[in-house]
Amino acid sequence: MVPHRSSAVTAAPPAASPSQRWPEQALPLAQELHRSLSISERDWHALKSQRPRRAAEQLAAALVQLLARDTPTNAAAGDARRQAIALAEHAVGWLKAELSDPGCPSHGR
């Protein structure tokens, strides 16, 4: 049996006002920042011990997560906000020297 489809056309939800969304250019800028701060596999050994570098990479990732998947007017913290918080806390761990390089699995450490 095929479910009955309503012939009524539902209106699209009203567009969010500028105060209810992130600035249009924010996400692409954050993504570009994250790409520029990400440590590639090729550069991993040279940069892995630079704590501020590792922290900056994590903070940029948190910003991308927040801008891509959260809405500034949401009162409750959803999954995107929780993931952004975890990334930001990880960055703080690098800055406070509470975290260190876990080693490279290919080198047996």
Per-residue pLDDT band for 16 (boundaries 50, 70, 90) equals: low
pLDDT score recorded for residue 3: 44
Domain assignment of residue 76, yes or no: yes
- pLDDT tens by residue, 58-92: 999 999 999 999 988 888 889 999 999 999 999 99
Indicate the DSSP class of residue 52.
Answer: H
Number of domains in the chain: 1
Domain span at residue 77? 24-99
| Two tokens, residue 84 | 């952004």
Place of tokens 């570009």: 32
Taking the model in full, what pTM does it have? Answer: 0.76
Q: Does any domain span residue 49?
A: yes
Rg from Cα positions in the chain: 20
- Rounded Cα distance, 84 and 34, in Å: 13
Residue 47 lies in a domain: yes
Give the position of tokens 């009162």.
75
In a domain, 19, yes or no: no
